A and B are shown apart, each in its own frame.
Chain A
């Protein structure tokens, strides 16, 4: 059941799990991207702040003297940049759009109003990605304002390293989240689908003929399903009941007149004057017996075919069952003055479908009695064997008469030497079928001194 659930593509649990996993994957990806972008922005902001501080430190030292702008870059302006990462540092100081010191080719923003606040920007410089800040200050030189532009830039390796670290952390976080969410999804799916399993289990554990309504507590979502199921069971129950009633009625209506015919034939036979009428009456009785027996075995065979799909396995006392079968048939055996010798181990318990086993044992014993010669002996043996349990019925009858077992266990096929005995040809087929569905084995062999041994091993 479980495996079915796990591997079936149509599984509700699987679908739910897949959807939850999909959601978890999307959330993990979002988490990854969010952590990365927030952390990157934070890293950039932190970096920008230091660049800004560096540029500001330079700007603080701007003075004017004797008609020129004096620049005194503080040592800390660059050493503070060295403190955060081992990145290369570039700077440029322009006075009235003319570079007065630093890297003349360092890119600076064009025509952007940067007087108000430091302007941060990214650029390419000397084959490297850089992050830069530009800061504008107005210095009054000889009563005229001079615009001084201070740019400080740094390569982004430290930042890239942080980004990579953050990416790794974010990825680990994302994967971790996904794993936890996956596990929880799995658990949630299991617990969600469990009631379904419970219902399925409750139905699966039932005996083949248990048609009661399902009453175990179920989640409200499953109520319609279970109600429908119960409705279906009820209809099935009705149908089966009607069928049973019908069969019973049918059997009654067929068998009762047959019984009348047979009884009257017996009476008539008793009073028969001529051999001719005697033979006629005997053949009437024979025909009645034959049709009755066929009907029984056909029904048994149908029942076995139906039951074998869903065996009602239970452990029961085989010794008692064998005793019961022998008792039921002892009257028949007595009529032929047969000696039935039962060698039955006491209290042998074993698993099986009791109804099917009973049917098989009944047919085996019945067969042995039927094919025994008068005053013969039938040996019945029930014993424990290595493989399980063995039931053996031996008669001293006419044997198989050259037929092989394979032929005898074919439906409606009868032995070559039994045309004088009433039979349907279904008895051994039934036994073989019962053996098959129990994964047992049925053998039929001729006895050396005449007669047949039928062995059913389960």
Chain B
């Protein structure tokens, strides 16, 4: 639900959560000083007791996750109020690239869009000892800095598996689905990449990793899959027994929810596992880049990784994981991400994907 609605057709599909939040959104709109043309989902001002300045953050990450970080940040900078605005990653991209919205920090899990903001020169450079300590793969130049690494995982319902052994990799998953078509027909969920930015990113990166992606897509397509806008919806559907398997779910969200039920579990695939990086940047139009820099430094500071890991519940940057698990693949920050943003490329990919998944 946080990484939901972005599509290049400019079509904005409001998710259920967003509808629920629309009342809040309208209130926010009324009190927001600079009325924005882009759609925001929620906004909250973390006031400080003796406010001297206000840090404006535009983020695609839900407030619940960021609140502990902001509170902790304010302990360090007690004179700073923080205005935290949530928007979908595509709206966020539009706000920065087209509407020149006034924010000091932009946080998004849409690596490709963040990369495009940087590539189009819309991000400031920032240098500090904190960001310099970041691993090379978790930053792009002096403009884009990652602070979480979140895997795309396969979720399975024990009930839905009905005693079948869990697949170890995509090859076994393909075989499992081929061998048990009647059991899984209509019981598989995955992103609708036409609507979901995260789904599109995962799918494109998946396609780069292995040919198995297209074979898997063919197999899933033959089993009348259910397509979802977002990870939370897939988790809910699995939870309710609507589906038995959910492919490419954002693992960080899944682990938070699945703790509560014994039924659903994350299936560790050993061939490869894609990791998405949640990144922050300083928009070029920021009026107080130094203040924004303090927040970036706070996120990058290795001393705060435990906070992100435990209190926030998002996996903080940890290069060790990639050394010990050879099949963990972080999505590389770099101009390569721009390739799938190319409109022709995107059209071709979605067509190929549709041909595989949406079998009549």
Contacts and interface: CB of A to CB of B under 8 A. Distances in A.
Nearest to B333: A82
Contacts of A79: 332, 334-336, 339
Interface stretch (B32-40, B118-126, B173-181, B267-275): B118-126
A72 B339 CA distance: 9
Contacts of A89: 119, 335, 338
A78 B121 contact: no
B208 interface: yes
Contact of B335 (A72, A74, A81, A126): A81
Contacts of B344: 71-73, 93, 100-101
A305 to B, nearest CB: 80
Interface in B325-343: 332, 334-340, 342-343
Interface string A27-55: 00000000000000000000000000000
A394 B80 CA distance: 103
Q: Interface residue tally of chain B, by bracket?
A: 20 to 34
Interface string A78-107: 110111001011100100000011100000
Contacts of A82: 332, 334-336
B342 A101 contact: yes
Contacts of B121: 88, 126-128
A93 B118 CA distance: 21
A126 B332 CA distance: 25
B159 interface: no
A88 B143 CA distance: 11
Given A88-B121, A89-B119, A101-B344, A75 B140 contact: no
Nearest to B336: A79
A361 interface: no
A77 interface: yes
Nearest to A103: B120
Interface in B126-146: 140-141
Given A78-B334, A88-B119, A126-B121, A73 B141 contact: no
B345 interface: yes
B334 A73 contact: no
A92 B171 CA distance: 38
A88 B118 contact: yes
Residue picked from B120, B121, B140, most chain A C-beta under 10 Å: B121
B71 interface: no
Interface in A380-432: none
Interface residues of A, number: 24
B348 interface: yes
A77 B119 CA distance: 15
A126 B120 contact: yes
A74 B339 contact: yes
A100 B345 CA distance: 11
A79 B204 CA distance: 14
The secondary-structure label for the interface of chain A is mixed
A78 B345 contact: no
B81 to A, nearest CB: 33
Contacts of B140: 86
A128 B119 CA distance: 11
Q: Count chain A CB atoms within 10 A of each CB in B141, B336, B343, B345 and give the residue with the most.
A: B336
Contact of A77 (B118, B120, B339, B348): B339
Contact of B336 (A71, A75, A86, A102): A75
A86 B141 contact: yes
A90 B339 CA distance: 11
B137 to A, nearest CB: 11
Contacts of B342: 71, 73, 101-102
B332 A72 contact: no
A96 to B, nearest CB: 15
Contacts of B343: 101
A321 to B, nearest CB: 84
Nearest to A127: B121
A419 B140 CA distance: 111
Among the interface residues B335, B337, B343, which one has the most CB atoms of the partner chain A within 10 A?
B335
Contacts of A71: 342, 344-345
A72 B345 CA distance: 6
A70 B351 CA distance: 13
B216 to A, nearest CB: 19
Contacts of B208: 75
B330 to A, nearest CB: 14
Contacts of B141: 86
A79 B338 CA distance: 9
Nearest to A79: B336
B120 A78 contact: no
A77 B339 CA distance: 8
B120 A75 contact: no
A75 B339 contact: yes
- From B337, B338, B345, name the one whose CB has the most chain A CB atoms within 10 angstroms: B338
Interface string B197-235: 000000000001000000000000000000000000000
Nearest to A76: B336
A73 B335 contact: no
Contacts of A100: 344
B339 A73 contact: yes
A89 B339 CA distance: 10
Nearest to A72: B348
Nearest to A88: B119
A79 B208 CA distance: 12
A78 B336 contact: yes
A161 to B, nearest CB: 11
Contacts of B334: 78-79, 82-83, 86
Contacts of B119: 88-90
Contacts of A77: 339
B345 A73 contact: yes
A53 to B, nearest CB: 14
A74 B337 CA distance: 11
Contacts of A126: 120-121
A6 B333 CA distance: 63
Nearest to B119: A88
A324 to B, nearest CB: 89
A70 B348 CA distance: 9
Contacts of A93: 344
Contacts of A101: 342-345
Contacts of A127: 121
A128 B125 CA distance: 14
Nearest to A74: B339
Interface string B264-304: 00000000000000000000000000000000000000000
24 contacts: A72-B345, A73-B339, A74-B339, A75-B336, A78-B335, A78-B336, A78-B337, A78-B338, A78-B339, A82-B334, A82-B336, A83-B334, A86-B140, A88-B118, A88-B335, A89-B338, A90-B119, A93-B344, A101-B342, A101-B343, A101-B344, A102-B342, A126-B121, A127-B121
Given A78-B338, A89-B119, 15 more contacts: A71-B345, A73-B339, A75-B340, A76-B336, A77-B339, A78-B334, A78-B335, A78-B336, A79-B336, A82-B334, A82-B335, A83-B334, A88-B121, A88-B335, A101-B344
Q: Nearest 4 A-B pairs (CB), nearest first? A: A82-B334, A79-B336, A86-B141, A89-B335
